[in-house]
Amino acid sequence: MELTEILKLCDHTLLRVDCTSAEIMKLCDEAIKYSCASVCIPPCHVAGAKRYVGDRMKICTVIGFPNGYMTSAAKAFEADDAIRNGADEIDMVINLSMVKDAQWDAVMSDILAVREATRGYILKVIIECCLLTEEEKVKLCEIVAECGADFIKTSTGFSKWGATTADVALMREHSPAEVKVKAAGGISSIEDAETFISLGAERLGTSRIVKIAIQMEKDAES
């Protein structure tokens, strides 16, 4: 698979807690240069990034991140605020406490609160696979689809581990065709990216693929 095609599926990501405005602008420049799907950045940087990129790049941000245990009303407000600030795509974290209590109706209501606040925008639902049983993952594939989300996403990248091949395969198998799969966390090579794409991932959350492209350019010039 051509690197240019992989880059088009990448949400070029910077979610470090101490990232600066200058780093976010650099991230945007890189994403534009390499035709990434979006930049995925903290909510506090959305307005500034939108002013900087205009219509040149999609802006994705995270909601209820990284723990997901905020109230549904707080998540909905956060999502609405992000969209008002210029976000094009929203990646929300589910309430894992509700999952562990098997409060499935509450889990659904939590997602629906954010879905309602993001009508007309891309919504990705992070289920944090590393903290789930196989049965919970399958159930969440069903719930995410019922809520009308656009993507189901493996991981925040801030927990025990990120995307695995087994999780991406399971999510693709148990999600309807209209729900896409995003793999995120630990995607560190072109081979990783190709593997996840071959298993059905249609979006990758990573910064390393762009870094690889930059290094390949430098090597070609030297």
pLDDT tens digits, residue range 8-32? 999 999 999 999 999 999 999 999 9
Q: Residue 183, CB half-sphere, CA atoms under 13 Å: how many? A: 27
| 75 catalytically annotated | no
Given a cut of 90, is residue 215 above it in pLDDT? yes
- Average pLDDT of the chain to the nearest whole number: 97
The domain of 26 spans 3-221
| 153 catalytically annotated | yes
> What band does 151 get if pLDDT is binned at 50, 70 and 90?
very high
| CATH at residue 47 | 3.20.20.70
Q: What domain count does the chain have? A: 1
Rounded CA separation 97/128 (Å): 12
Q: Which of the residues 153, 167, 180, 192 is marked catalytic? A: 153
Contact 82/43 with Cβ under 8 angstroms?
yes
Q: Which of the residues 11, 91, 150, 192 is marked catalytic? A: 91
Its pTM stands at: 0.97
Rounded CA separation 129/108 (Å): 17
Contact 19/44 with Cβ under 8 angstroms?
no
Given a cut of 90, is residue 122 above it in pLDDT? yes
Q: Which of 162, 171, 142, 190 is nearest to 5 (CA)?
A: 190
Given a cut of 90, is residue 222 above it in pLDDT? no
- For the stretch 55-91, pLDDT in tens is 999 999 999 999 999 999 999 999 999 999 999 999 9
Give the SS3 label for residue 129. helix
| 182 catalytically annotated | yes
Rounded CA separation 162/126 (Å): 11
Question: What are the residues facing 71 on neighbouring strands?
Answer: none
Q: How far is CA 99 from CA 34, 96, 102, 106, 116, in A?
A: 38, 5, 5, 9, 21
Q: Which of the residues 11, 180, 182, 192 is marked catalytic? A: 182
Average pLDDT over residues 113-130: 98
